[in-house]
Amino acid sequence: MNMKSASCLIVAGVFVGTLAGCASDRYGSSAQHETVTEKVEDGWITTKVKSDFAVDKTVSAMNIHVNTDNGVVHLSGAAKNQDEINRAVQIARSVKGVKSVRNEMQIGATGATR
């Protein structure tokens, strides 16, 4: 085998290897894309819930913590009373993209003052 043939085989091998890598990367990246998309959606949901809390006069945006994971909103922190908890859950449920709301807020916990 001469040098030219060996070089062609090496180039062909690199080319085929690159194509195989792209094919597997393409399918792997769609799963990553879904994960990134879900994270962006979760971030948007969290931001929307917090901003709705800030606008509502019955809910303390400072004392209620919001975290979203795969469309499930987790509410925690301090509330003044049951009405504030109920309103916070209602607001969170009304946000587009929310699948469910988990309420872990406590009444009268530290920092529940306004």
Q: Is the pLDDT of residue 113 over 60?
A: no
pLDDT of residue 72: 96
7 against 78, higher pLDDT: 78
pLDDT digits (tens, 9 = 90+) for 21-56: 444 444 444 455 557 777 889 999 999 999 999 999
- We find that the CATH architecture of domain 3-107 is 2-Layer Sandwich (3.30)
pLDDT digits (tens, 9 = 90+) for 50-108: 999 999 999 999 999 999 999 999 999 999 999 999 999 999 999 999 999 999 999 98
Give domain limits for the chain. Answer: 3-107
CA distance 27 to 109: 48
